[in-house]
Structure 1
Amino acid sequence: MAANSSPFKIILGSSSVARRKILAEMGYDFAIMTADIDEKSIRKEIPEELVVALAEAKAEAIISKLESLDNQNKDDNATLLIAADTVVVYEGVIREKPSSKEEARKFMKDYSGGQAATVSSVFVSNLKTGFRKGDWDRVEIHFHEIPDDVIEKLIDEGTVLYVAGGLIIEHPLILPLVKKVVGTTDSVMGLPKALTERLLKEAL
């Protein structure tokens, strides 16, 4: 599908490589803008509420950035902004990015032989009409035992320090240790495709 011919522009409000990859797989062309928000200032007890609130805050920050640039050449086409957020939930507790190697190590030891869930939100804004809506998707991941040497390799390599809950499932070292995924991997990686499609359609 020739995405360039689509009657609307898309901005992905995320610097996440995984989210960029997923949106490109969906066949869309898009620009990237990032929001610098203080995620720690937004607190909710319920993970589903937290991820939607965080995605909405990112969207608001990007929209105000765009307004201050004010170079919106007023064309007739809509611009759709996609913001997203993901947290990991382990035994009912919300986990964000590990604050240290020690914390990442503890997180991964917890998952070993156990399970965790990811809750990912998508928040779509139509900058022309003012439509705004967010929703969330939850996935459960069950793990085999994760050997200590695998955990150490992942920590040395560093990727796990930059992802929610120190949890990655697409990594070649972890992939064979994933017992079962109840849900979709795109959701675990931060952008649930079906939810994104649904919100984009609603936004138009």
Structure 2
Amino acid sequence: MGSANSESFEIILGSKSVARRKILADMGYQFTVMTADIDERSIRRESPEELVSVLAKAKADAIISRLNLAEFRTEEKDPTLLLTSDIVVVHNGVIREKPSSEDEAWTFLRGYSGGHVSTVGSVVITNLKTGARVEGLDTAEVYFHDIPDEIISKLIEEQIVFNVAGGLLLEHPLTLRFVEAVVGASDSVMGLPMALTEDLIRKSLI
């Protein structure tokens, strides 16, 4: 259950991301989890903003296709909000999604050493009772100190980098100590910007 503007509602988080679950829980919301299981690499766009928007909506549509919407639209039922999101890392003008091989993960992480990346994220909330959908974009930048090769090797060995955009796991202890600065919100880099999400939840209930 959640409450915004004193209204009761349910939340479905359309993501298997551990970081997104933690952020949403830290915001004080209880929620259920569903995963979209779409082929993200089959969806291509030139612009990172357009790509994350299309992917977040595709995730929502995939989940909605498995639901019986009539159950959510009865008069007496509180609204249910489906929250989906997507994020990409942009490095030297190139969009980077989840690395698909160890070589690619190594190239990504080595490239960040002593440099900086941008993240572009989209949050989409679909009110399953009304059918209304709201969306917002959020960006941030991360500046890095030099990252030693042995640290990159350890991150790749742990395999977690393959589950996140650009292999960028900001909150990981091995990565965090080599972050020089974050311009924007760290929760945005981790995949779910709190301020934007809170604003969209309120808007979706109007």
Which TM-score applies when normalising by structure 2? 0.93
Question: Secondary structure at the residue paired with 1:173?
Answer: helix
1:96 lines up with 2:101 in the alignment: no
1:181 lines up with 2:188 in the alignment: no
What's 2:79 paired with? 78
What's 2:34 paired with? 33
1:140 lines up with 2:152 in the alignment: no
Which TM-score applies when normalising by structure 1? 0.94
Unpaired segments of 5 or more residues in structure 2?
none
Question: Secondary structure at the residue paired with 2:108?
Answer: helix
Cα distance, 1:173 vs structure 2: 1.0
What's 1:7 paired with? 8
What's 1:192 paired with? 193
What's 1:201 paired with? 202
Partner deviation per Cα, 1:149-195 (whole Å, 9 max, x = no partner): 10011111111121110111111111111001001111111000011
What's 1:47 paired with? 48
State the alpha-carbon separation in 2 of the partners of residues 67 and 60 from structure 1.
13
Cα distance, 1:43 vs structure 2: 1.1
Q: CA RMSD in A?
A: 1.7
State the alpha-carbon separation in 1 of the partners of residues 9 and 127 from structure 2.
10
Question: Secondary structure at the residue paired with 1:20?
Answer: helix
Aligned-pair identity in percent equals: 59
What's 1:109 paired with? 110
What's 1:59 paired with? 60
Cα distance, 1:64 vs structure 2: 1.2
State the alpha-carbon separation in 2 of the partners of residues 166 and 108 from structure 1.
7
Question: Secondary structure at the residue paired with 2:36?
Answer: coil
Cα distance, 1:71 vs structure 2: 5.2
State the alpha-carbon separation in 1 of the partners of residues 38 and 2 from structure 2.
30
Q: Could you tell me whether the CA contact under 8 Å between 2:2 and 2:10 is conserved in 1?
A: no
Structure 1 runs (4+) deviating above 6 angstroms are none
Partner deviation per Cα, 1:12-43 (whole Å, 9 max, x = no partner): 00011000000000000101111121212211
1:152 lines up with 2:153 in the alignment: yes
State the alpha-carbon separation in 1 of the partners of residues 72 and 179 from structure 2.
45
Question: Secondary structure at the residue paired with 1:15?
Answer: coil
Unpaired segments of 5 or more residues in structure 1?
none
Cα distance, 1:94 vs structure 2: 0.4
Question: Secondary structure at the residue paired with 1:7?
Answer: strand
What's 1:129 paired with? 130
Question: Secondary structure at the residue paired with 2:200?
Answer: helix
What's 1:20 paired with? 21
State the alpha-carbon separation in 1 of the partners of residues 101 and 39 from structure 2.
18
